[in-house]
Structures are given as C-alpha cells and as structure tokens.
Amino acid sequence: MTLAYDKKAERGGSLLGAMRWGTAALAVAALHAGAAFYVSNMPAPEAPPQGTPEAAVLIDLAPPAPPPSAPAAEAPPVEAPPEEVPPEPQLEPTPEPVPPPPEPVAPPPEPAPPEPPPPEPVAEPEPPPPEPIPEPEPLPEPPPPEPVVTPEVPKMEAPPEVAERAAVPLPRPTPPRPRVAEKPPERPTPPKPRRERPREEARPRTPPRAAPPPSRASQASRAPTTQGAAVSSSAVARWKSQVQSRLNRFKRTPPGGAVGMPSVTFTIGPSGAASNIRIARSSGNPILDQAALDLVRRASPFPSPPSGESVSIPPFAINYKR
C-alpha cells in the first residue's frame, strides 16, 4: 500500500517537473524571439568615418535550458493483494480573494445656511436746523463833530439873495487908519467917485487963504478916510458874497475822499491879493489842512474891498464832506 502511494507521488512529481521545465523553455524562447525582433527593428547606426574601427557587437544570450531528465524507470510492479484505495484527498477550494472594503463615501456637503436678509436701512436723523445767527449789535453812532466856533459878526443889512449866498462870515471893515506920511503906499489907487456924499460936503468949502496948501501925504490919508465912511452896507455885503462865490468856485475834493472841517484865516489887500494865509484850527488831517490853504491861494486875487483898505478875514470853516 505504501509502495503504490509512493509511485503515484513520484509520478505526480515528474509531471510537475516536466511542466516547470517546459514553461521555462517557452519563456527563454519568447525572450530570444523578442530580442531578435528588437534587434531587427533597430535603426541602422550612422556609418562611422572611414578609418575608424568598427565596434564589436556583444549580445547577451540566456544559457540553454538543460534537457528534461528522463523519467525514472518504473520499477516492475509488485503484485500485491488488492487493497482498498483510499479516496484522494479533495483539494480545498481556493478561497476567493476578499474584495477590498468599499471606500467610505464622503457624505454630501451640508447645504450652506441661507444668507441673512440685508438689514433695513436705518433712516438717518434729520440734522437740527442751524441756529440763527445773532444779528450784530449796531455800532454806536460816532459823536457829532465839534461845532466850529466862529466869532460872531454883527449882521449887516443885505438883500435876501445876497445873504443866502454869503456863507463865510466876514467882519465889517474897520475904519481906515491914517497912514504915516513917511511910508508911501506900495500901490496907490486912484480915488473912486463918491457915491454918497454927506450933506455937509454938498457945499464947496474954500480953504482959508492964510492956510498953506495941503501936502500929497495929507491928501492920501484923507481920501481913504472919507471913502471908508461913504461905503454902504450893501456894497460890503455884495463884496462878501463875491469872496464866498470865488472860494466855492475853486474848491476841490482832496485826494482819498478825506472828511473834515479845517478853519483858515487870511488878509485881503487893497488889490485883492490874499496874504497871511494860515490854519486857525486844524482838522486833524494834514491833507485837509493843506487843501484849505491851497484853496485860498488858488482863489487869490479876490475882488478888492469896497473900502480900498486891507481886510483881515476872521477864521472860517471849510467843510470837506463826501
């Protein structure tokens, strides 16, 4: 029984060995065939230049497979009593490969939470109304200019139209002073015809024979005295009006539009020329003071005084306003 089992095992081993060697031979043949196919399809190498020795081609070949060993000679069967052949062991079925566990499926992503609705616009509070701008306090009124004190001049009878035009108070001409005989007059003026003669002089008087004839100096001093006494108030008022009109004609606005009221005084000579021009009271602005002096100089010469003597004009104000 043991011998029979050994024979079967030996027979099976020989078959296995033959199969192995056959498989190896087929593999070697396939390798050779592939190498031959590869070599035959290789591109031809470029021809080396002349005179260069050709390189030797080396091919590695697999060693030849050994011939399969002859199966061992079977021993002559030994007759043995027939024995019950035990049943061949059944080959266990090859367990099927366990399939790999399925990859865990990623859970679907959670849906994004809904976006919150945009906040409602908040109404901005209205700005408070602007505070009313306080009105500026009215500036205190400037004090009125100090009144210019002018010397009072006695009123003289004059026509109404002449009295309105006369704005500059001029003094009443003083009675002429007798001139000194030693000092002759600078510019003697011819005696004017007498308009009004006193009744006493209506009759011609004859000087006494015993008296010497009067000199020229006494005649010159006597003529103004008689002429000054004969000047009427209407002539004086007319002359004042002419002086005022001439000043108004030459009056000009000072540069810069300054405002003020300077007072000036001057003297009008027998020929009408102005002299001794000076500021009696300043306005506080040198420009206005100079303008007042220039006004009198431009207006000179004035009409000659009716008395024929120099007349001193008292301080009077010149109003410069806008």
235 SS3 class = helix
For residues 37-54, average pLDDT = 70
pLDDT digits 0-9 by tens, 18-41: 898 999 999 999 999 999 998 888
Which residue's entry shows tokens 């024995």? 83
Based on C-alpha coordinates, what's the Rg of the chain? 81
Q: Are 169 and 263 a contacting pair, CB within 8 Å? A: no
Is pLDDT of 244 > 80? yes
Is pLDDT above 80 for 45? Answer: no
| pLDDT for 215 | 47
Does a structural domain hold residue 134?
Answer: no
Distance CA 305, CA 227 (A): 12
At 216, the pLDDT band (50, 70, 90 cuts) reads: very low
Cα gap 190→204, rounded to integer Å: 21
Stronger pLDDT, 243 or 198, i.e. the higher one: 243
pLDDT for 137 equals: 60
- Model confidence, pTM: 0.31
DSSP 82-113: --PPPPPPPPPPPPPPPPPPPPPPPPPPPPPP
pLDDT for 220 beyond 70: no
Strand ranges of the sheet holding 311-317, from the earlier edge strand across to the other edge: 274-281, 263-268, 311-317
pLDDT recorded at residue 207: 46
The 3-state secondary structure of 144-159 reads CCCCCCCCCCCCCCCC
Q: For residue 6, how many other CB atoms are within 10 A of its CB?
A: 11
Mean pLDDT score, 299-310? 88
Question: What local confidence, expressed as pLDDT, does residue 32 receive?
Answer: 93
Establish if 256 belongs to a structural domain. Answer: yes
Q: Give residue 27's pLDDT.
A: 95
Mean pLDDT of 83-106: 60
Cα–Cα dist 240/163, whole Å: 9
Asked if the model's pLDDT at residue 56 lies above 60, the reply is yes
- Mean pLDDT across the chain: 68
- The pLDDT of residue 17: 84
**What is each CA distance from 237 to 43, 166, 246, 310, in whole angstroms?**
151, 8, 14, 16
pLDDT tens, 114-137?
Answer: 676 666 666 666 766 666 665 656
Question: Does the pLDDT of residue 262 top 80, yes or no?
Answer: yes
Q: How far apart are CA 225 and CA 162, in angstroms?
A: 27
Average pLDDT of the segment spanning 65-94: 54
- Whole-angstrom Cα distance, residue 202 to residue 193? 14
Give domain status of residue 72, yes or no: no
Residue 95 vs residue 278, higher pLDDT: 278
Asked whether the bond before 301 is cis by omega within 30 degrees of 0, the reply is yes
Report the CATH number that the domain containing residue 296 is assigned in CATH. 3.30.2420.10
Give a yes or no: residue 166 inside a domain.
Answer: yes
For residues 56 and 287, which has the higher predicted lDDT (pLDDT)?
A: 287
Please report whether residue 240 resides in a domain.
Answer: yes
> What is the structure's pLDDT at 30?
94
The Cα–Cα gap between 243 and 311 comes to: 12
DSSP single-letter state for residue 134? P
Does some domain include residue 221?
A: no
Give 25 or 252, the one with higher predicted confidence. Answer: 25
Residues 140-182: pLDDT tens digits? Answer: 565 555 545 454 443 444 443 433 444 455 555 555 565 555 5
Residue 246 lies in a domain: yes
**Could you give the number of structural domains in the chain?**
1
Residue span of the structural domain in which 290 resides: 157-170+231-322
Taking a C-beta distance cutoff of 8 angstroms, is the pair 317, 263 a contact?
yes
Q: Inform me whether the pLDDT recorded for 110 exceeds 60.
A: yes
**317 domain-assigned:** yes
